[in-house]
Structure 1
């Protein structure tokens, strides 16, 4: 698997990483051992970029990653990105200050078992935070204090990403991008490229929609966000099925199927499509299935898509998805 430069961080990371939200919480019941085994499988498959957050299982995801890295002595071989901010209660802009951020950073350092975080990302803060220079000054201070090596942001909206990269200390932006969420490929990708900002793509498979394994009869556990966040009841609805109403998403999946080559899964096709954009540094599908993790990694080595395949993706987006998502995020 090839590596790409992650902005100006100095890290070169595998094109396919591992997202670890599901080994912490909100995806049904996942045991600690299953979570650790997912991390081991990813490392064995060549992955060297792991993404987590302090609220995934109240630190469970971070701790599982830390335990695997310790057992393997792999701290120097793997880049771990975590996130902070969503522990604030209430989750309001003024909470993104030096005092709170330092406390969150110290807790993540302890969970991961490291002196300094490789990459800290603000965790989808309110839009107003991107207009608070003091928040980014606090991150500069924490970096100068040796508690983190680099920092970036995880955003909900293109607007937030564009504002964030005006701050010179922001070296990465994590954003939702997939065939059902195409707006970032317009202005944002151009600006990220121009400023040499690393782009981490999350929700690449639209919460499983773009695996092609979900249908109208699929039932989700009560503690799975695909059950309880369909209308954005718990957090931004764009995190669930990439914000696409499930029925429209299923119709779009059916329309996309003819573009999938024989022997390639829809998930692999989707990841290959995402990686065709030069602005993307890495994509972070999440799974606890060893087979799925290995298949996701293999997508990086698939041949480029054809012009007809790109056109089918564009047509499906225009016909089924655009009206639901394009201007919202």
Structure 2
């Protein structure tokens, strides 16, 4: 495992880390603590030392599983969680310091921890980034010892650029992959200049970039890849990175010609992300240990050649860019 510095936190974290949206089971399935424990411990055994969760994953059950892991292991494990998405409706008006403070307390209780290594605002409405009182709250929470660092998870590049204007924002979690390349432009440059860590989520475009899906692939009714393609549940950019499913399949077919020796494209897609020095870590998810094993293969993959990098860019420009680039 290779490690990179997570911006101003000064944490040295595994460049392949773990996201826990579906760690207790597949999307739409009931949360399984047995499955979560198995995956989380396998991740730490492999050298992963950064785990990303959220209070809404499994309605708090994911946080409980992560906390149990941290308390049971002797290794240094950095924990990031998120707050805000429990608000119903999820609107700017409901973002209030007292409410967010309660969410932080709830997360600490769920995990059985005295302090959070990193708390992230969980894709708040764009208006929230223009409210200094929201960000000032986390300075007080840090003084109280409840958190060590503040980060944000964003949907849009513009939100990331606005967030890093606040000096207490140490990290930004953002979607970045072969089908979502806009962050590599201005945002990566500005984040690096301000020593802000970049946590890459949805690195495989909800599984599209594994190369395992086809027009015959079906998803359960409760799986966001079934119901959220047009944004019925939340921002549609979280599902297949906002790429039309059939368009994505065609682009993946082209990617197979760029990486012809690999039937599993996931390690290549992850290794491509790691060529960008501004990236601190990637947090692919796993609903079973075979997913984790696949993700970790990226560590041993050679970096894409200049010709492969250029080919990926061409596929993006010709097939993906026009529909998605300027939306997020």
TM-score, L = length of structure 2? 0.97
Residue 68 of structure 1: aligned partner: 69
Q: Does 1:104 align with 2:89?
A: no
Residue 283 of structure 2: aligned partner: 284
Residue 94 of structure 1: aligned partner: 93
Question: Whole-Å Cα distance in 2 between the matches of residues 261 and 155 of structure 1?
Answer: 34
Name the CA shift for 1:26/1:107 in 2 (closer, same or farther; >3 Å). farther
- Please show how residues 117-128 of structure 1 align to structure 2 within 5 Å: 117-128=116-127
Q: Secondary structure at the match of 1:248?
A: helix
Question: Whole-Å Cα distance in 2 between the matches of residues 25 and 43 of structure 1?
Answer: 18
* Aligned residue-pair number: 327
Question: Whole-Å Cα distance in 1 between the matches of residues 72 and 139 of structure 2?
Answer: 32
Question: Whole-Å Cα distance in 1 between the matches of residues 95 and 25 of structure 2?
Answer: 23
Question: Whole-Å Cα distance in 1 between the matches of residues 152 and 251 of structure 2?
Answer: 30
The question of whether the paired residues in 1 share the 8 Å contact of 2:16 and 2:296 is answered with yes
Residue 246 of structure 1: aligned partner: 245
Q: CA deviation at 1:73?
A: 4.0
Residue 44 of structure 1: aligned partner: 45
Residue 6 of structure 1: aligned partner: 6
Per-residue CA shift, 1:238-260, capped at 9, x if unaligned?
00001001011111101111111
Question: Whole-Å Cα distance in 1 between the matches of residues 242 and 197 of structure 2?
Answer: 24
Residue 275 of structure 1: aligned partner: 274
Question: Whole-Å Cα distance in 2 between the matches of residues 287 and 316 of structure 1?
Answer: 27
Question: Whole-Å Cα distance in 2 between the matches of residues 132 and 278 of structure 1?
Answer: 31
Q: CA deviation at 1:194?
A: 0.5
- Please show how residues 206-285 of structure 1 align to structure 2 within 5 Å: 206-263=205-262, 265-285=264-284
Question: Whole-Å Cα distance in 2 between the matches of residues 315 and 10 of structure 1?
Answer: 36
Residue 34 of structure 2: aligned partner: 33
The question of whether the paired residues in 2 share the 8 Å contact of 1:45 and 1:294 is answered with no
The question of whether the paired residues in 1 share the 8 Å contact of 2:211 and 2:266 is answered with yes
Q: CA deviation at 1:92?
A: 1.6
Per-residue CA shift, 1:104-126, capped at 9, x if unaligned?
00111111111010100000000
Question: Whole-Å Cα distance in 2 between the matches of residues 84 and 244 of structure 1?
Answer: 27
Name the CA shift for 1:25/1:167 in 2 (closer, same or farther; >3 Å). farther
Per-residue CA shift, 1:62-86, capped at 9, x if unaligned?
1111122223344xx1111100000
Q: CA deviation at 1:221?
A: 1.1
- Please show how residues 306-321 of structure 1 align to structure 2 within 5 Å: 306-321=305-320
Q: CA deviation at 1:98?
A: 1.8
Q: CA deviation at 1:264?
A: 6.7
Per-residue CA shift, 1:258-283, capped at 9, x if unaligned?
11152573100000000000000000
Question: Whole-Å Cα distance in 2 between the matches of residues 230 and 264 of structure 1?
Answer: 26
Q: Secondary structure at the match of 1:207?
A: coil
TM-score, L = length of structure 1? 0.96
The question of whether the paired residues in 1 share the 8 Å contact of 2:155 and 2:175 is answered with yes
Question: Whole-Å Cα distance in 1 between the matches of residues 130 and 64 of structure 2?
Answer: 32
Q: Which runs of 4+ in 1 moved over 6 A?
A: none
Q: Using the TM superposition, name which of 166-175 and 314-323 deviates more.
A: 314-323
Unaligned 5+ segments in structure 2 are none
Unaligned 5+ segments in structure 1 are none
Q: CA deviation at 1:94?
A: 2.9
